[in-house]
């Protein structure tokens, strides 16, 4: 499977489009010489950890480049989700998991309770486990709470 329009729209609604490199700690455009507290990010939430291109201070891209980067990132994310999830999913469930993986990268982690619950066939537990991933630096972040709720809503939506 590959991400559908609902998943793409969800990701874009939470990531926002930044054509200049920014610090995801505070969504501040980073100028040369400034300290980065979080992760250097560009486009629709692209980080160096996601693969090329490497994000650097002062970097600028076009909207078309941001779309191409997102498309490439989502190919990798969809492949990860397809490889990791061993139970049947409808398109909306797949899209919700793509958004989750794009944002957290946690599905492949050995301690990912959401994936363990899902692969054991316990969809209800997997659904509640979405809400366990609402923290940044040990603190509950309202933006992550909203995102997990939106992912959960999409996960529940019939295809």
Known catalytic residues are: 15
Cβ within 8 Å of residue 78, ≥6 positions away: 1, 2, 3, 94, 98
Distance between alpha carbon 159 and the CA centroid of its chain, in Å?
Answer: 21
Give one DSSP letter per residue of 25-50, joined into a string.
Answer: TTTEEPPTTPPPSS-EEEETTEEGGG
Cβ within 8 Å of residue 45, ≥6 positions away: 11, 14, 15, 16, 24, 70, 102, 103
User: What are the DSSP E strand ranges found in the chain?
Assistant: 18-23, 28-29, 40-43, 46-47, 135-136, 139-140
């Amino acid at each position: 499977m590959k991400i559908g329009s609902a998943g793409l729209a969800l990701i874009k609604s939470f990531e926002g489009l930044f054509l200049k490199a920014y610090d995801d700690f505070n969504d501040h455009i980073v100028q040369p010489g400034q300290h980065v507290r979080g992760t250097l990010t560009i486009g629709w939430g692209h980080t160096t950890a996601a693969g090329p291109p490497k994000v650097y201070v002062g970097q600028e891209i076009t909207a078309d480049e941001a779309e191409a980067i997102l498309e490439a990132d989502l190919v990798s994310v969809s492949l990860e989700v397809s490889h990791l999830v061993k139970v049947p999913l409808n398109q909306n469930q797949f899209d919700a998991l793509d958004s989750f993986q794009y944002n957290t990268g946690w599905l492949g982690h050995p301690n990912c309770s959401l994936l363990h619950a899902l692969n054991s066939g316990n969809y209800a537990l997997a659904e509640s486990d979405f809400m366990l991933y609402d923290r940044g630096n040990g603190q509950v972040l309202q933006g992550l709470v909203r995102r997990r709720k939106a992912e959960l809503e999409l996960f529940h939506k019939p295809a």
